[in-house]
Copies of this chain bind each other. A is one copy, B any other.
Amino acid sequence: MIVVQKYGGSSLADLNKIKNVAAHISKLSDSGQKIVVVASAMGKTTNKLIEMAKKISKAPNIRELDSLMATGEQQTIALLSMALNEFGQNSISLTGSQAGIVTIGHHTKSRIKSIDPKVINTHLNNGKIVIVAGFQGMNQNGDITTLGRGGSDTSAVALAASLGARCEIYTDVDGIYSIDPRVYSNAKKINKISYEEMMEMANLGAGIMETRAVELGKKYNVPIYVGESLRAHDGTLILNQDEIMEDKPITGITLNEDIFMVNIQHLPYSEDAVANIFNTLGKYELNIDMITQNITSTGFLDLSFSCFKREESLLKQALDELKNKFQEIFIEIKSELIMISLVGIGMVSHSGVAAKVFNTLAKNKVPFYHITTSEISISCTISKDHKKIATGMLAKEFNL
């Protein structure tokens, strides 16, 4: 079975680290394994390129920004291939376009539309280690595109799917924890987690893997291993839920501090009005989450939703458009709230999880505001100031 190994920017931050990764891959190749490597840009390269662009233009053209950013990965893959040659390996680097990765959608946040694995398979069959630039592809106009945040994970899982391979994501953390250890130092590492739980956790703010990558893994049933670079064990395996035996209601807690809570009040309620609001938000491609809606006894709408802080400028444009459309509404943006979420497949079969969560918070005098639930998660907003106490109490309560 082919393996697709993805190495992140911190694992490839300088030439020595590139050599170390090459040594590691080389050993694996000598054991007869067919290997495709997906590499990110070295260290902070992408940020440096973005800084250069920002010095030229406050709002750089996104097609050009993609073409600029894509050079980061192109440099890493060429250097890594040279390093593999030094270990006597036969290898070849491929840009996203050369690897047959076709994308669709907007620049700086394109999606993979299809992968033609012909070129990669030919090289693998010729005994080569194939090194593919993560985070990038080419759209049907022939423009270079990038996949947005965490895009290299998506590249790796998509390649694994198209090659019928397993996928290994190497990073600077040694696996996935039930809670961010920086917030709760007693957090336990998870050995196995289902795609669904991982997606919820990624979506809800755990920064380790991009949701889209896990989603693809689920869709094409690609086993994904997440672990520390140069170590092929002791990490976390993401797989189908029916392959997981454990019986715990909650798998992990995630915190999302990168949010605004937006509250819209005083709109006379109608289904059309609500649809109109979400059409407008959708037009700006905002990542809207945690939607709660009340209709007051006097027939007015009270609507709240969360939005990423990094999308502030888009959000403001969207809200300006809404104010023009509905002159009677009142809009408030809150930036001092964070979202705390509990995730677990077991939640479906364990009644009373929600009650236990709210009891724990109340007992510790932690006020909570907006509440949303999905089949495998419960989220609520709390004040920033209660982050540590809420996390610690819930972790104890659910043995995480």
Q: How many copies of this chain sit in the oligomeric assembly? A: 2
CB pair B142–A98 under 8 Å, yes or no, is: yes
Given A55-B15, A83-B57, A74–B78 Cβ distance below 8 Å? Answer: no
CB pair B52–A81 under 8 Å, yes or no, is: no
Q: Is A56 in the interface zone, CB < 8 Å from B?
A: yes
| Nearest CB in chain B: distance from A51 CB, A | 10
CB pair B78–A68 under 8 Å, yes or no, is: yes
Q: Which residue of B lies closest to A18 (CB)?
A: B56
Instruction: Bin the interface of chain A by size.
Output: 35 or more
Given A52-B15, A98-B142, A144-B95, A68–B75 Cβ distance below 8 Å? Answer: yes
Kindly state the separation between the CA atoms of A74 and B55 in the bound complex, as whole angstroms. 17
**What are the interface flags for A74-94 relative to B under an 8 Å C-beta threshold, 1 for contact and 0 otherwise?**
110111011101100000110
Partner of A64, one of B49, B60, B81: B81
Given A67-B74, A74-B67, A75-B68, A82–B56 Cβ distance below 8 Å? Answer: yes
Q: Is A65 in the interface zone, CB < 8 Å from B?
A: yes
Given A67-B78, A68-B79, A144-B95, A19–B56 Cβ distance below 8 Å? Answer: yes
Q: Is A61 in the interface zone, CB < 8 Å from B?
A: yes
Kindly state the separation between the CA atoms of A49 and B71 in the bound complex, as whole angstroms. 12
CB pair B82–A61 under 8 Å, yes or no, is: yes
Q: Which residues in B have their C-beta under 8 angstroms from that of A316?
A: none
| Nearest CB in chain B: distance from A55 CB, A | 5
Nearest 9 pairs between A and B by C-beta?
A68-B78, A71-B71, A64-B78, A67-B78, A60-B82, A56-B82, A57-B82, A64-B81, A56-B83
Show the binding face of A for B, using Cβ within 8 Å: 15, 18-19, 49, 52-53, 55-57, 60-61, 63-65, 67-68, 70-71, 74-75, 77-79, 81-83, 85-86, 92-93, 95, 98, 119, 142-144
18 further interface pairs, Cβ-Cβ under 8 Å (given A57-B85, A63-B92, A64-B85): A15-B55, A15-B56, A18-B56, A19-B56, A52-B75, A52-B79, A53-B78, A60-B85, A64-B82, A65-B82, A67-B77, A67-B78, A67-B95, A68-B78, A71-B71, A71-B74, A71-B75, A98-B142
What are 19 sample pairs from A and B whose C-beta atoms fall under 8 A apart? A15-B52, A15-B56, A52-B79, A53-B79, A53-B82, A56-B82, A56-B86, A57-B85, A57-B86, A64-B79, A64-B81, A67-B95, A68-B74, A68-B78, A68-B79, A71-B75, A95-B144, A98-B144, A119-B142
